[in-house]
Structure 1
Amino acid sequence: MHIFKFGGASVKNAENIKNVLQIIELHKQEQLLIIVSAIGQTTNKLEELLNSFFYRQGTHLQLFDEIKQFHFQVLDELFEDKNHPIFDDVLNTFVEIDWIIEEDPQDPYDYLYDQIVSIGEMVSTKILSAYFETCGLPTKWIDVRNYIHTDNTYRDARVDWEKTEIAIQRDIPAMIQSSIPITQGFIGGTSENFTTTLGREGSDYTAAIFAACLNARALTIWKDVPGILNADPKWFSSTELIPELSYIDAIELSYYGANVIHPKTIKPLENKEIPLYVRSFINVSGSGTRIHKTTESLSVPSFIFKVNQALISILPNDFSFIVEDNLSHIFNAFHKHKVKINMMHNSAVSFSVSVDNHEDQVTALIEELRKDFSVSYLPNLELVTIRYYNQETIDRVLVNKEVILEVKDLYTCQMLIRDKAS
């Protein structure tokens, strides 16, 4: 049993979908289960549609038409038979959005998000399954909402592992004997049959859930990069492929913001000691990166950059100490406004954090904190995390930069920086 996960870039157009078919053909002698994301930038487009609809900006119908036209263009390029049932199937799937947006929004934003944005995965998997069938590959489309059971925390649903494992083990092993199941990433379902999502970029997590519940031999995530690199090529002209790393290092890198693997993905695999391979769908002969149980540490320092950061510093109004009661109140406020802390530092009289500077969320958070604390806010910063740092690596990223806040432990250095004043 081997789980393959294909992200949006790997199925962004008809040509790439044909390439995915070739990859699967190379491995069709194995028992496979395929997890697929929405096609290309569909998730972003559906988010735009939702925002336009929910905030009454008036462009949602146009956006919806563009999304549908794009998918039918992909269908036209894949299917010679224009009367193939997939055309009606995709149209009927998009009707679910029609039903939602035909009236003014009545439901909370997060609930609507999951009902609308999840359609991207439903459509992409139906297209791939139908296309593979026409090419002679025995596939079976399955609705992931029947298998990944969650609570009602929309946009960041928590998995009910017991119900999920029972459902997956009940049906999937028998399916795999005669077909290749294809299902959706990112999505779950509640006991009331409402759609939920597992968090942005949650398709990797979906694949890990199936792998763990099926005790898979391995999970392979197919990307547009050769594997996990020690730095983002956007920031460094010279990067190195990391051929293997431990579960712990992978968790640390994803926690600090490395974009290759979703942060929730690693733990279910580690629990079952299932290796994770990150490979390139562009160069399928490349070995990529293997994440597995090993005591070996990273062979090279790894760099993670996060831009558009803000420093929020919180002090008691009465100049008392920052103690447990204060911290409990502060963390509850961050959780309430869904502001993720990327770095933190506390002293006797202050608590400082670096956060992604999402203006609406951060503004609302600061307004609430200022009811009880003195709060300062410094935007336009960058956060650099170096795993297995030394002074040379620190100096490398501080050229023409000044450090605003620094936090170090034995293996990791985090620095909040900005350009030096000229």
Structure 2
Amino acid sequence: MFVFKFGGASVKDASGIINLASVVKKYTGNQLLIVVSAMGKTTNALETLTRAYVDQTDNMHLIYDGIKQYHFDILEELFDPKHPVFDDIANTFVEIDWMIEDEPHDDYDFIYDQLVSIGELVSSRIVSAYLAKEGVTNQWLDVRGYIHTDNTYREGVVQWDKTRDSISKGIPLLLEKGVVVTQGFLGGTSENFTTTLGREGSDYTASIFAACLGAESVTTWKDVPGILNADPKLFADTVKFDELSYSEAIEMTYYGASVIHPKTIKPLQNTHIPLLVKPFTDPSASGTVIKENGVNRFEKPVIIMKQNQVLLSVSSKDYSFITENHLSDIFKLFAQNQVKINVMQTSALSFSVCFDFYEERFEKLLQTLQQDFKVKYNTGLSLITIRHHADGAVKELVAGKTVLLEQISRNTAQVVVR
């Protein structure tokens, strides 16, 4: 039994979905579960729509019309105009119509999950319909009834016992009848609200299903030849890893390597299931295999860039030392506001942290911190992480940039730059 995950780039247009079907047909003799992301940049567009809805801006309906038109243009390339999938997609979008007719709810993260989740629901329905058209027997599945989470919107925490029970009882019978097509990134609460698992969470979804079903492997199909030492859009002469160990992959994703969601590896490591990262344009290529005893070979340093970062420094209002008690209070506020720290550094009088900028969370965090501490911050920064850095690598990467924070250990260097 295999689990495939197709990312947004692999289903961004009609030709991508046609290619997906050709890949799936090569494996129809096996039990196969397919996890589908939103098409192309749909998640970004739905995030823009969410912000427009919350702010009640004049362009809200224009943004929404553009999202719908993008999907219906793809449908027109793939299906006869009378195909029932047109009604299915229109009915799915109705969920957004209902939401944006009402006044915005106070909880931004809740609104985000209910709106942004439509991307995966639409894309998976289109993929399922096209596979059926191509003669691939398949069942569309609403993942929200199988991956159960708590009410932490935008970062749903999986309730593993309930999830494992639902998947193990419901999915094997469906797999015996044909391919199962479902959504990545999404979960459901006990109150039947939608949660998301964090950006790029479709990889995590695939690993959850694989772990619960005892899959032979997970394959995530990407627009790159495998896992590279750096983003090919930012760096020339990148090299591909043929193999990686679970531990090295976890380190890379922890520091922000976007090719895999950070939570993906743990369920696979616990169940000894390999993860294959392969190019959807060349299914026969070897890609990268992540496994228990994967061999790590580093011809070049691993370079990970994270944009849109905040560097924030906290100090006491009376110039006293930053103590363990202060740090305990500060960490509690970060946890309460769901802000994850990427780098931290302590001096006698201040505590500095770098983290991803999410406006709503940042504003709430800032308000609570300023009640008891002096706070300074810079936004619009970049975090460069270099794993297995060689002599001169850090200096070369920061040339011409203003370094605001630097931290270097034996294996990893991290630099926050403007």
Q: TM-score, normalization: structure 2?
A: 0.95
* Matches of 1:88 and 1:133, distance apart in 2: 16
Higher mean C-alpha displacement, 47-56 vs 249-258? 47-56
The aligned residue for residue 144 of structure 2 is 145
> Is the 8 Å Cα contact of residues 36 and 203 (structure 1) preserved in structure 2?
yes
1:321-373 CA distance string (max 9 Å, x none):
22222112111222334433211111333211122344554454334323322
1:378-403 CA distance string (max 9 Å, x none):
44543211111232322332333454
Q: Shift in Å at residue 404 of structure 1?
A: 3.1
Higher mean C-alpha displacement, 372-381 vs 19-28? 372-381
> Is the 8 Å Cα contact of residues 189 and 195 (structure 1) preserved in structure 2?
yes
SS across alignment from 1:76: helix
Q: Shift in Å at residue 320 of structure 1?
A: 2.2
> Is the 8 Å Cα contact of residues 148 and 188 (structure 2) preserved in structure 1?
yes
1:171-214 CA distance string (max 9 Å, x none):
21121122000000011111121111111111111001001101
SS across alignment from 2:88: helix
> Is the 8 Å Cα contact of residues 7 and 38 (structure 1) preserved in structure 2?
yes
Residue ranges of structure 2 left out of the alignment (5+ in a row): none
Letter in 2 for 1:328: S
1:41-99 CA distance string (max 9 Å, x none):
2112222222111211122222222222221111111112x222111111111111111
CA 1:23 to 1:391, structure 2 compared with 1: closer, same or farther past 3 Å?
same
The aligned residue for residue 33 of structure 1 is 33
SS across alignment from 1:391: coil
The aligned residue for residue 23 of structure 1 is 23
Letter in 2 for 1:5: K
The aligned residue for residue 396 of structure 2 is 396
The aligned residue for residue 238 of structure 1 is 237
Count the aligned residue pairs: 417
The aligned residue for residue 84 of structure 2 is 85
Higher mean C-alpha displacement, 199-208 vs 383-392? 383-392
* Matches of 1:194 and 1:207, distance apart in 2: 21
The aligned residue for residue 164 of structure 1 is 163
* Matches of 2:82 and 2:359, distance apart in 1: 48
> Is the 8 Å Cα contact of residues 218 and 276 (structure 1) preserved in structure 2?
yes
CA 1:286 to 1:246, structure 2 compared with 1: closer, same or farther past 3 Å?
same
SS across alignment from 1:365: helix
Matches within 5 A, 1:378-397: 378-397=378-397
* Matches of 2:70 and 2:309, distance apart in 1: 34
Q: Shift in Å at residue 40 of structure 1?
A: 1.3
SS across alignment from 2:147: coil
Report whether the alignment pairs 1:302 with 2:337: no
Letter in 2 for 1:186: F
Letter in 2 for 1:280: P
Letter in 1 for 2:182: T
* Matches of 1:366 and 1:69, distance apart in 2: 39
> Is the 8 Å Cα contact of residues 204 and 262 (structure 1) preserved in structure 2?
yes
Q: Shift in Å at residue 259 of structure 1?
A: 0.7
SS across alignment from 2:321: coil
* Matches of 1:323 and 1:109, distance apart in 2: 34
The aligned residue for residue 335 of structure 2 is 335
SS across alignment from 2:375: strand
The aligned residue for residue 50 of structure 1 is 50
CA 1:402 to 1:62, structure 2 compared with 1: closer, same or farther past 3 Å?
closer
* Matches of 2:229 and 2:342, distance apart in 1: 19
Q: Shift in Å at residue 265 of structure 1?
A: 0.6
The aligned residue for residue 322 of structure 1 is 322
Q: TM-score, normalization: structure 1?
A: 0.94
* Matches of 2:273 and 2:354, distance apart in 1: 34
> Is the 8 Å Cα contact of residues 244 and 291 (structure 1) preserved in structure 2?
yes
Letter in 1 for 2:267: P
> Is the 8 Å Cα contact of residues 108 and 360 (structure 2) preserved in structure 1?
no
1:124-170 CA distance string (max 9 Å, x none):
11111111111111111111111111111111111110011111111
CA 1:358 to 1:143, structure 2 compared with 1: closer, same or farther past 3 Å?
closer
The aligned residue for residue 229 of structure 1 is 228
* Matches of 1:171 and 1:22, distance apart in 2: 27
Letter in 2 for 1:371: Q
The aligned residue for residue 286 of structure 1 is 285
RMSD: 1.8
* Matches of 2:294 and 2:176, distance apart in 1: 36
* Matches of 1:122 and 1:363, distance apart in 2: 31
* Matches of 1:98 and 1:162, distance apart in 2: 35
* Matches of 2:108 and 2:402, distance apart in 1: 40
| Identity value in percent | 52
Letter in 2 for 1:239: T
Matches within 5 A, 1:42-121: 42-80=42-80, 82-106=81-105, 108-121=107-120
Q: Shift in Å at residue 283 of structure 1?
A: 2.0
The aligned residue for residue 218 of structure 2 is 219
Higher mean C-alpha displacement, 112-121 vs 365-374? 365-374
> Is the 8 Å Cα contact of residues 188 and 195 (structure 1) preserved in structure 2?
yes
> Is the 8 Å Cα contact of residues 298 and 388 (structure 1) preserved in structure 2?
no
CA 1:235 to 1:65, structure 2 compared with 1: closer, same or farther past 3 Å?
closer
> Is the 8 Å Cα contact of residues 249 and 298 (structure 1) preserved in structure 2?
no
Residue ranges of structure 1 left out of the alignment (5+ in a row): none
